[in-house]
């Protein structure tokens, strides 16, 4: 017969949690000890009056650190410096005055940026971490926001001279800032030669104008970004494309199919939208550019007479809508739309819509920056990233497949030399 008198600590889930806490505590203690031994080894040959200069000298008072598993006890060793030159031991894992682990510090902005107000922060954390999750007042969150602003300022000055981005995505989002004022966040992401995506720019602009986007591109150049990307992806906003044409004249342009589909469907009755969406799908999912052109013709033949505005909206960017065919097929799912940015914008909107205003322009920029950098840590590498080397070298792709054009040109040149 089952025992109904099991204590809380004996429950399987609690026992597992205790085992995890014990394991974490032991690992932390071993890691701190390894840091100490490294310091002692550095001064092992130094002596004062025939005695070793730096020796261990007990422990600092035991303290608790808040973690995702609960409170963990930690004891940090102390040292004695007989030379009296100020040598101290500070663990990089548990620096002085640390009361909570780094992952908890990251958890606070995660909650805030996703819509939890500073006044609701403490109850939310207590429900997740228990009643002992203290010291996380609205003032503490406000101090964190000030820190984000400093981080954002430093990030905008980072050196990009050794960086190269093969593809870039760009888009804008409007956010309320104080009363009726609006802030347009201009955001750009890039993928480097290793296939890793990262945030390139988060700035405030005047709408999505050409001048505002030129400021973004000029800023990146001033930070050392000298090589133009091979392809830029964005919606149909003319401001961005005019800026790209002027600043990066060799960069190819791909219009976002998600935005284009929404724009076309908005020009027809809802009853027509499902059928029209299927016709649009036939275009951008075609295996070859020729098949896509045929699907374009079929769309116009079917809808141009009844819905001329929808047809006109579709065909005006025809060449730019199909630029992806000149790049590896493995990359198509990434470069046919600006979805990498759109997925981040959803959480930015959640935060800025939480209240009627979200603070100053600086605060809004810092919040968006923090959210995007947090998301960046979880991004996966570009599918087929090894093919980026071919894109960088300018290899030709036809309908997503590596073309033999380069080999044919080389053979022709060799034949000429032989003659």
**Residues 257-314 pLDDT 10s:** 999 999 999 999 999 999 999 999 999 999 999 999 999 999 999 999 999 999 999 9
Q: What residues pair up with 172 in beta bridges, in sequence order? A: 186
pLDDT of residue 36: 87
pLDDT of residue 345: 63
pLDDT of residue 15: 64
pLDDT > 80? residue 128 = no
For tokens 């940090």, the residue is: 76
pLDDT > 90? residue 178 = no
Q: 325 vs 70, 286, 295, 316, 397, CA distance in Å?
A: 52, 10, 15, 18, 7
CA distance 263 to 195: 30
In terms of Cβ atoms closer than 10 Å to its own Cβ (0-12, 13-18, 19+), residue 191 is: buried
Between these two residues, 369 and 269, which has the higher pLDDT value?
A: 269
pLDDT of residue 2: 47
The chain-wide mean pLDDT, for the chain, equals 80
- Per the CB < 8 A criterion, the answer to whether 368 and 202 are in contact is yes
CA distance 312 to 295: 15
What residue spans define the domains of the chain?
A: 12-81, 102-155
Q: Within a 10 A sphere around the Cβ of 413, how many other Cβ atoms?
A: 10
Q: 183 vs 139, 174, 180, 207, CA distance in Å?
A: 25, 6, 10, 8
pLDDT of residue 49: 82
CA distance 65 to 5: 32
Crossing angle of helices 238-247/210-222, nearest 10°?
Answer: 40
Per-residue pLDDT tens over the stretch 20-69: 667 667 767 877 888 888 888 888 888 888 888 889 999 988 888 776 66
Please report which confidence band the pLDDT of residue 386 belongs to, taking 50, 70 and 90 as the band edges.
very high
For tokens 């750009």, the residue is: 188
Which token pair is 63? 């303290």
- Per the CB < 8 A criterion, the answer to whether 344 and 192 are in contact is no
Between these two residues, 365 and 266, which has the higher pLDDT value?
A: 266
Secondary structure of 41-85 in HEC code, one letter for each residue: HHCCCCEECCEECEEEEEECCCEEEEECCEEEEECCEEEEECCCC
Please report which confidence band the pLDDT of residue 415 belongs to, taking 50, 70 and 90 as the band edges.
very low
In terms of Cβ atoms closer than 10 Å to its own Cβ (0-12, 13-18, 19+), residue 129 is: buried
CA distance 135 to 125: 11
pLDDT > 50? residue 230 = yes
pLDDT > 50? residue 79 = yes
Please report which confidence band the pLDDT of residue 416 belongs to, taking 50, 70 and 90 as the band edges.
very low
- Per the CB < 8 A criterion, the answer to whether 35 and 56 are in contact is no
Kindly state the average pLDDT of the residues 351-355. 51
CA distance 272 to 265: 8
- Per the CB < 8 A criterion, the answer to whether 115 and 105 are in contact is no
pLDDT of residue 193: 94
């Amino acid at each position: 017969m089952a025992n109904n008198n099991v204590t809380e600590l004996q429950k399987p889930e609690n026992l597992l949690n205790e085992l995890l806490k014990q394991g974490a505590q032991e690992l932390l203690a071993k890691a701190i000890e390894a840091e100490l031994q490294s310091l002692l080894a550095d001064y092992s040959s130094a002596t004062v009056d025939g005695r070793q200069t730096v020796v261990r000298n007990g422990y600092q008072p035991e303290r608790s650190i808040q973690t995702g598993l609960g409170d963990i006890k930690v004891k940090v060793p102390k040292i004695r410096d007989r030379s009296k030159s100020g040598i101290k031991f500070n663990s990089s894992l548990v620096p002085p005055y640390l009361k909570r682990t780094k992952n908890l510090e990251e958890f606070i902005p995660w909650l805030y940026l996703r819509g939890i107000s500073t006044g609701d922060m403490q109850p939310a954390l207590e429900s997740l971490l228990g009643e002992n999750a203290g010291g996380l007042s609205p003032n503490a969150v406000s101090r964190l926001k000030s820190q984000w602003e400093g981080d954002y300022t430093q990030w905008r000055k980072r050196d990009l001279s050794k960086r190269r981005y093969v593809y870039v995505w760009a888009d804008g989002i409007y956010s309320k800032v104080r009363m009726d004022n609006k802030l347009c966040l201009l955001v750009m992401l890039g993928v480097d030669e290793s296939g890793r995506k990262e945030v390139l720019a988060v700035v405030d602009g005047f709408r999505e104008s050409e001048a505002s986007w030129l400021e973004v591109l000029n800023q990146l150049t001033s930070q050392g970004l000298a090589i133009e990307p091979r392809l830029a992806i964005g919606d149909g906003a003319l401001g961005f494309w005019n800026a790209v044409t002027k600043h990066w004249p060799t960069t190819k342009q791909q219009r976002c199919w998600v935005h284009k589909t929404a724009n076309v469907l908005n020009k027809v009755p809802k009853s027509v939208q499902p059928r029209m969406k299927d016709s649009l799908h036939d275009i951008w999912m075609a295996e070859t550019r020729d098949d896509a052109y045929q699907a374009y013709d079929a769309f116009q033949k079917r809808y141009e007479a009844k819905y001329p505005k929808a047809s006109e909206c579709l065909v005006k960017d025809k060449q730019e809508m199909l630029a992806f065919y000149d790049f590896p097929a493995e990359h198509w799912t990434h470069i046919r739309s600006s979805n990498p940015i759109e997925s981040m914008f959803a959480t930015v909107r959640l935060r800025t819509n939480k209240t009627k205003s979200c603070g100053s322009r600086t605060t809004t920029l810092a919040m968006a920056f923090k959210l995007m950098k947090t998301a960046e840590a979880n991004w996966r590498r570009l599918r087929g990233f090894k093919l980026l080397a071919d894109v960088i070298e300018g290899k030709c792709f036809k309908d997503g497949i590596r073309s033999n054009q380069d080999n044919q040109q080389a053979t022709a040149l060799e034949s000429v030399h032989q003659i």
